[in-house]
Chain A
Amino acid sequence: MLKYLLRRLALTIPTFLALTLVTFVAIRLVPGDPVEVRQGEHGIDPIRLAKLRHELGLDQSILHQYWDYLVQLAHGDFGTSIRTQTSVASEFFTLFPATLELALCAMLLAVIVGVPAGVFAAVKRGGPIDHGVMGISVIGYSMPIFWWGLLLIMLVSERWELTPISGRIDPIKYYFDPVTGFMLIDAWLSGQEGAVWDAAHHLILPAIVLGTIPLAVIARITRSSMLEVLSEDYVRTARAKGLSPFRVIGLHALRNALIPVVTSIGLQVGTLLAGAVLTETIFSWPGVGKWLIESINQRDYPALQGGIMLISCLVIMVNLFVDVLYGAINPRLRHGR
């Protein structure tokens, strides 16, 4: 097991290096640099421009800059944001709990709704429920997040007044200093009456919007996995033994069908974080997605590189964890057979 873990860990190093290169190059391919993008119609005096570029190290060759960046990363330093002049890591970890809270809720919703929907569709294969679930999941999967978010705001928040429009908590009624960065927990710690409910209320729409795509994926994978399992001999045997349909499906079939679903949940982490960029912008959710968008607009190289690296580390770690979990479950993988 240890050997397997070490092998998997070693494999993350080239992935990590490739990522540093891609993020470093990609942001520099976007026209405009961090100094010039700050200037309006005034423009900037060429001497001053050269001075500021020098201070940021932008006058060095690209290779030199990349090497400096790698050395800096090797020291665990993600740099300082050009825009705010604060440490990238501290900005990231201030904002990350908001993204994580939203992503977890979205994933919870996707699993709670997606798995039963997939099971029902499989059990009622070919029937209206199956067609309905599959049709809705195709729509959910292909819906642009931005459009979906605004549509929900207009209908649910604005017209029916069922949920707040944006933000994480009502800023007039509730005020407390963040302790963990997770609003639900902080609201509970604050002891203010109604704060937890208000925070949860604010979470509903963004979680639905962010959870829609994973929900669609989970429902489809659960369905196809269940269909496969339902045709297995042991399920037929269980039925032949006279077990109730609930036990056959819930205990015998679903448990085995869930293996690919768990894998897909691991893979959805990337989708969730990508979706968070848009969801956070629509719902004024102060997470890393919104922060990254602003960093792109401002060509804040350190913030963008650092942010993407930190997110990538997270995705790599989750995938590593899933792989290890898989290795633990399936000895064939562990032994590389």
Chain B
Amino acid sequence: MKSIVQTSVAALFAATLLVGAAEAKTLVYCSEGSPENFTPAMNTTGTSFDAARPVFDQLTEFVRGTTKVQPGLAESWDVTDGGKTITFHLRKGVKFHSGVNGFKPTRDFNADDVLFTFNRQWKDDHPYHKISGGKFDYFSDMDMPDSLVSVEKTDDYTVVMKLKAPNAPILANLAMDFMTVQSAEYADYLMKIGKPEQFDQIPVGTGPFQFVAYQKDAVIRYKAFDAYWGGRAKIDDLVYAITPDPTVRLAKLKRNECQVMAYPRPADLAEIKKDPNLNLMSQPGLNIAYWAFNVMKPPLDKKEVRQALIMAVDKSAIIKEVYEGAGTPAKNLIPPIMWGYNDKVADYVYDPAKAKELLDKAGVKTPIDIDLWWMPVQRPYNPNAKRIGELMQSDLAKIGVNATLKSFEWGEYRKRLQNGEHMTGLFGWTGDNGDPDNFFFLLGCTGDKPAGNNISKWCNAKFNDDMAKARELTDIAERTKLYEEMQQIAHDDAPQMTIAHSVVFEPVRKEVVDWKISPLGQHVFYGVDLK
């Protein structure tokens, strides 16, 4: 009898779904992989961030398609105490998703949820700190423990954050996925029923889409959240069809089995462009590939030698041959889509004769031997470091510089570079929060120590001072002035050769309306519609 009832209920539900499906707007996104879980604070991959993003909000958020920061769950904030105190005024009337995993919220979002989000990552003794492994990589990577003094609430809708030093970029950090605000009440509920690990597997948030189900490695389903504080999403259902192979993703897109696909293969771009049903969108990526010179190792301690090496390499050939149209030449550390970019900097010109002259001027007798490290993995900013290394090697030979190509396993490679064991090495960076400081710190003096991120081991007092000053300012125009100056200094002193910013491509079906590429590599479905 029970089974008959179950079957009837299931059939009725299915019938309702089918009727609904005829009218509902469902967008299918062919994603590239499976999420580790649905708590971005514990993850480091874009795949996992993308899977959690529809469900959640942050205190601040990025304006869709840009790196500009706008109010999110914090309606406004005041910066006082010379930039060392930030008071957040929280948005009222924000609802959490109801009915997911049997949880029915009894209150709206408030300061307790913000404190939960900070303290879970920050405090070792927080009841949820150790749940699901307790690895909060981004919180550490973005220096949050070293930046924060305290985060406290003064009432249910006011949170005061005290900092050790003025730190304007922290507002952008708060818009990042790892600072996704989660429900403290849901956490308590799961703790009470003895299933706290479900907190990271079955997400409850305030975001534009409510989580429906995740069938491991196959499909993630969401539905529009009717009570979303920013207004209901234009699509009704959102489905992530996990499709690891890029050729298959494209085939599905062409057959309209999905409407947006992640990460096309560069080799397929020409075919996508030709397809009348597809719209290939592109934008320079928020990243940089560079060739770092270890200034601690002679003769690279001489500026002229570094400049000579830059001028000996034909950058345009690299862009053409290795990036195959999916890269733009870089003349600064930050990409041109980022505020603070100094377009007045004149890039070094490929000129082997001048390079040789510079070597002579520096008193370097050719031939000389250097090592040239290439990373063993493909990165968003560098599709083939080995090939770039080979092209450079042949260019350098023309001015009497014998470069020996060298590589290690990725973890080992990064560690050795950061320890400064190389003479020259290929490396790069992908921006985390859209703030220029998140790029310039790569050349800061604190990073020039062993294990530091400044792999040129270059320390310029003026550059470093300007960077520190810019962190204290919240005015974008004033910060821009300092950053422009820093870009000129880095160009003139040449601690690295900036090679390229990759171009990000995102193919979508023509039926997709108002799709915007995120410079931060995010896939954002709120605001998107279907014709």
A residues apposed to B, CB below 8 Å: 31-33, 36-46, 48, 52, 82-86, 91, 94-95, 98, 150, 153-154, 157-158, 161, 164-168, 171-173, 175-178, 189-193, 281-284, 286-287, 290-291, 294
Contacts and interface: CB of A to CB of B under 8 A. Distances in A.
Interface string B394-438: 000000000000000111101100100000000111100000000
Contacts of A40: 44, 430
Given A85-B200, A157-B255, A42 B221 contact: no
Sorted from nearest, which 8 A-B pairs have the closest CB atoms? A36-B411, A31-B409, A286-B217, A286-B218, A191-B11, A85-B132, A192-B14, A284-B243
Q: How large is the interface on B (under 10, 10 to 19, 20 to 34, 35 or more residues)?
A: 35 or more
Contacts of A173: 18, 21
Given A39-B44, A281-B244, A91 B216 contact: yes
A92 B177 CA distance: 29
The winner among A31, A98, A189, A284 for most chain B CB atoms within 10 A is: A284
Contacts of B252: 165-166
B11 to A, nearest CB: 4
B197 interface: yes
Interface in B191-217: 197, 200-201, 213, 215-217
B203 to A, nearest CB: 14
Per DSSP, are chain A's interface residues mostly helix, strand or loop, or mixed? loop
Contacts of B197: 85-86
A165 B257 contact: yes
Given A32-B411, A84-B37, A165-B251, A286 B216 contact: yes
A283 B248 contact: yes
Contacts of B201: 86
The winner among A86, A166, A177, A190 for most chain B CB atoms within 10 A is: A166
Interface in B118-160: 132-133, 135, 137, 140-141
Contacts of B10: 176, 189-191
B305 interface: no
Contacts of A52: 135
A288 to B, nearest CB: 9
B18 to A, nearest CB: 7
Given A41-B453, A45-B140, A191-B7, 5 more contacts: A32-B410, A38-B137, A150-B248, A158-B255, A166-B257
A167 B254 CA distance: 15
B242 interface: yes
A38 B245 contact: no
Contacts of A166: 241, 243, 248, 251-252, 257
Contacts of B137: 38-39, 42, 44
Interface in B413-469: 414-415, 418, 427-430, 451, 453
A171 B14 contact: no
B34 interface: yes
Interface string B39-80: 000001000000000000000000000000000000000000
Nearest to B376: A31
Given A85-B197, A282-B248, A284-B248, A192 B219 contact: no
